[in-house]
Structure 1
Amino acid sequence: MKHLLLAAAAASLAFPVTAQEPTPIPSPGEIAAAAPASDWIAIAASDLLVMDLAPDAQGKARRVVIQLMPAPFAQGWIGNIRKLAAAHWWDGTSVNRVQDNYVAQWGDATEKKALPKGLVPVPEGDYVVSRAGAAGWDAARAMRRSAPIIADPYASSQALWGWPVGRGNNGELWPVHCYGTVGVGRNLSPDTGSGAELYAVIGHAPRHLDRNIAVVGRVISGIEHLSSLPRGTGALGFYEDDKERVPIASIRLADTLPAAAQPKFEYLSTESDSFARYADARANRRDPFFIKPAGGADICNIPVPVRSIAAK
């Protein structure tokens, strides 16, 4: 019997029993990274706003790149923003407000700098797009491609058309506030802001601002240069001392920069099969770290993947 056991042990060493390895479950990031080139959409340079802040204390450059909202959303304000950038209006202004878990805001802290000619007032009605104005948008297809999304107290439904969008029972559509969203600062209604004062969300998604302030874009690169700034100690996070403000060297549309200096980005099409898998993985994390899939996701927890073309 002893010899039989030794023989069996030797055989087990010579011919190990191997269990079938489970197929690795990809993470959302891995799904996006594996998406074919045909699933990615290039962002036009004319739709990128490039903000260069003064270098940090170590002399390192600080560049923030903003993708402007596509039509039909917020086009009145975006037209003003294009004129402000063409006039170099923001050069020499500053980031003058940083409120914890809320926003970083920039513009003319003195409120005395003359605005360029040609800016137009935009009505409050343009915070949303009507059913007629959204006629070209295929809501059914977009909703089919979106991930399972939890009930939303701020909209009757949600979808992703390259951007997170809320939808009302009357068919109106509006872009929503998520982390990195860029909006237009304003005074009390009926003022809607010119676009000269802008802010970026650096905290939990302030969805209560939806349909109350114009959403004009999203930060797609360099959000860390805004979110890591010292918090302002004044009311609403405004800096009380002008020495605390972060100077803005320039803000330009990317297509006005030398070709070699133009940033290039692309985003994952929200109508692609790759995005459908990515969104499902965001809503139901099955990769090894997670124990309990959530079974749904807030729309702001399904950020549209954006990547630098140069980094490919």
Structure 2
Amino acid sequence: MSMLLPIFALLAAAQTAASPPSAPTPKPTAAQLAAAAPAAAWAAIDPKDLLLLDFADGQRSVIWLAAEFAPAHIANIRTIARSGWWGDATVYRVQDNYVTQWGDASEKKPPAAGIDRHPPAEYEWAWGAHGRAVANPYRDAYAPRTGFTPSGWAVAGDGKAQWLPHCYGMVGVARDLAPDTGTGGDLYTVIGHAPRHLDRNIALVGRVIDGMAALSALPRGNGGGLGLYEDAKMRVPIKRIVLAADLPPSERPAYQYLRPDTPVFAATLEARANRGGPFFTVPAGAADLCNLPVPVRKAPAPR
């Protein structure tokens, strides 16, 4: 009996030596950090700043309008939506790795009544004009200074001027050659690698925050080398374009954005720049501005 005790001890020691070391606690992802953020870290998006694109197949895309940055164009967009001018709108251009565009494919309709046909070039503004931005700690290839406004928008700048960047999902106003600035009747969204060379050349008026697949997963066009649908049958009809504020309260979708001035937002930036987990053996230590979208969520149902 006395000889069995050392054997059991040796077996226990061997099992301990063979056991792999315990895995480190997984680093939370940016999405997990945002999901765990307290209610006070979230701010509501005004229903009048939510433009809804309802498609015939039941899909919906939701655009958050950047009203403070392009007020003249967005005033036009609200007027156009309320006038019914988009009643026969279609998606008529889908250029691979670039943009999806919708509006009047015929280019023959007179503009909607009551709009400004020649809005100003709302491409940039004075540095800090929309509140002091929370600085982005990571470098950007296109702008020496970048950050996030109190209202939840990523911005690029140089210390003198500031502008919205052409990131994935951003929505801009299609236009002709300068000095034309577009009215807002035809819009596009970025569906590929961020075309930052368009920054400060076109008015950006919002960001798709839900239902992006309805715009990005469409068949690509090949007309004119611009992704136009040469066959009119390929055009995707839009059933309705409406502002959330114009719907009955019971039908309005509600969304919130994570406030950039909160510690949890800073943590999401760090998590995106230095991803954890067993797959990432070397932290990047950097993140492109367009890879740092401000988190947005559907507003929780009231308790």
State if a TM-score over 0.5 links the two structures. yes
Measured in 1, the distance between the counterparts of 2:71 and 2:153 equals: 15
Aligned to 1:46: 48
Question: Over residues 129-164 of structure 1, what are the superposed CA-to-partner deviations in whole Å (9 max), with x where a residue is unaligned?
Answer: 124xx445114xx11xx3x32242x22211122111
Preserved CA contact (<8 Å) 2:140 2:146: no
Question: Over residues 166-185 of structure 1, what are the superposed CA-to-partner deviations in whole Å (9 max), with x where a residue is unaligned?
Answer: 1124x211111100000000
Aligned to 1:103: 99
Aligned to 1:138: 132
Aligned to 1:64: 61
Measured in 2, the distance between the counterparts of 1:11 and 1:26 equals: 35
1:4 shift after superposition = 4.1
Preserved CA contact (<8 Å) 1:53 1:247: yes
Which SS does the other structure have where 2:86 is aligned?
Answer: coil
Measured in 2, the distance between the counterparts of 1:33 and 1:205 equals: 26
Preserved CA contact (<8 Å) 1:25 1:288: no
Pairing of 1:62-101 with structure 2 (within 5 A) = 62-71=59-68, 73-101=69-97
Normalised to the residue count of structure 2, the TM-score between the two structures is: 0.91
Preserved CA contact (<8 Å) 1:127 1:213: yes
Aligned to 1:155: 143
Question: Over residues 165-209 of structure 1, what are the superposed CA-to-partner deviations in whole Å (9 max), with x where a residue is unaligned?
Answer: 11124x211111100000000000000000001001000000000
Measured in 2, the distance between the counterparts of 1:231 and 1:158 equals: 33
Measured in 1, the distance between the counterparts of 2:228 and 2:157 equals: 33
Measured in 2, the distance between the counterparts of 1:289 and 1:67 equals: 34
- Does residue 269 (structure 1) correspond to residue 236 (structure 2)? The answer is no
Measured in 1, the distance between the counterparts of 2:60 and 2:115 equals: 26
1:311 shift after superposition = 7.3
Measured in 2, the distance between the counterparts of 1:11 and 1:107 equals: 73
Which SS does the other structure have where 1:91 is aligned?
Answer: helix
1:10 shift after superposition = 6.8
Shift in alpha-carbon separation, 1:151–1:92, aligned structure 2, 3 A: closer
**Structure 1: runs of 5 or more not aligned:** 56-60
Measured in 2, the distance between the counterparts of 1:18 and 1:294 equals: 28
Normalised to the residue count of structure 1, the TM-score between the two structures is: 0.89
- Does residue 230 (structure 1) correspond to residue 224 (structure 2)? The answer is no
Measured in 2, the distance between the counterparts of 1:90 and 1:13 equals: 74
Measured in 1, the distance between the counterparts of 2:52 and 2:8 equals: 73
1:280 shift after superposition = 0.6
1:310 shift after superposition = 4.5
Letter in 2 for 1:43: I
Aligned to 1:58: none
Which SS does the other structure have where 1:96 is aligned?
Answer: strand
Letter in 2 for 1:5: P
1:304 shift after superposition = 1.1
Among 162, 187, 195, which residue is 2:176 paired with? 187
Shift in alpha-carbon separation, 1:11–1:288, aligned structure 2, 3 A: closer
Letter in 1 for 2:104: D
Aligned to 2:31: 29
Question: Over residues 201-251 of structure 1, what are the superposed CA-to-partner deviations in whole Å (9 max), with x where a residue is unaligned?
Answer: 000000000000000000000110111100012010000111000001110
Aligned to 1:211: 200
Measured in 1, the distance between the counterparts of 2:130 and 2:62 equals: 28
Measured in 2, the distance between the counterparts of 1:98 and 1:10 equals: 67
Worse overlay, 229-238 or 113-122: 113-122
Preserved CA contact (<8 Å) 1:96 1:109: yes
Letter in 1 for 2:280: F
Preserved CA contact (<8 Å) 1:95 1:248: yes
Preserved CA contact (<8 Å) 1:27 1:287: no
Shift in alpha-carbon separation, 1:14–1:174, aligned structure 2, 3 A: closer
1:70 shift after superposition = 3.6
Shift in alpha-carbon separation, 1:24–1:51, aligned structure 2, 3 A: same
1:260 shift after superposition = 1.9
Q: Provide the identity percentage.
A: 49
Aligned to 1:242: 232
**Structure 2: runs of 5 or more not aligned:** none
Question: Please, what is the CA RMSD of the aligned residues?
Answer: 2.3
Measured in 1, the distance between the counterparts of 2:301 and 2:273 equals: 27
Aligned to 2:124: 128
